Amino acid sequence: MYSTLVSTSESASERLIESTRELLWERGYVGTSPKAILERSGAGQGSMYHHFKGKPDLALAAIRRTAEELRATAEGVLGGPGTPYERIQAYLLRERDVLRGCPVGRLTMDPEVIASDELRAPVDETLDAIRELIAGIVEEGKEQGQFASSLDGEEIAATVLATVQGGYVLARASGSPTAFDAGVRGLLSLLAPRQNSPARAVPSSPR
């Protein structure tokens, strides 16, 4: 009996967090009301306040999980096999729901999130971690002679993130992933190792 109650309690907590994650991505912080969370999760009001102090506490748990998930995905791709260029290429070309936007990047445009040091921290930390990882890969590529020695790892990393996040904005504005794909192809063309043989074509970004 006790184990059943614990399982049900954990299930309610998970549903609340996952529903909040979805709503934050769809509607932003202001549009994510406790009522909407309860309706989406199917949990009772008592469950929300049993597990969380209120909406800010629940939102923080949701944002942390979203940030951790994005970071893990980026680390998995950037830490995978291949040359430094191929790993950056894999990151830029990985499958994304371009028209829906980045679940973490969109939080940076939410004034309620940005105004809160606590809510903003997981977002900032995740983007910083990904930027540092890319910068390290660029420096690795420079040491191997794959990238020009004049490149600055931090600047290229910032450019990669700006291309991805800016691509989301342009794609959503136009209702088409074309702008995102073009930005990714352009950046990869600029980063492509210069060889005596003709440069290989950069594949289109998946939809």
Q: Which region holds residue 96: left if phi is over 0, alpha if psi is between -120 and 50, else beta?
A: beta
- In the structure encoding, which two tokens stand for residue 112, read together? 């309620």
Quote the pTM value. 0.84
Look at residue 50 in the predicted model and tell me its pLDDT.
87
Ranges of residues in the chain with a pLDDT under 50 are: 1-8, 196-201, 207
d(CA 66, CA 49): 21
CB 136 within 8 Å of CB 83: no
Look at residue 59 in the predicted model and tell me its pLDDT.
95
Look at residue 203 in the predicted model and tell me its pLDDT.
54
**Planar angle of CA 98, 102, 104, nearest 5 degrees:** 175
Q: How many CA atoms lie within 13 A of 199 on its CB side?
A: 11
d(CA 129, CA 54): 29
Q: How many CA atoms lie within 13 A of 50 on its CB side?
A: 14
Tell me, rounded to whole angstroms, the distance of Cα 60 from its chain centroid.
16
Look at residue 44 in the predicted model and tell me its pLDDT.
84
* Site of tokens 């691509």: 167
Look at residue 2 in the predicted model and tell me its pLDDT.
29
d(CA 131, CA 126): 9
For the chain, what is the radius of gyration of the CA atoms?
20
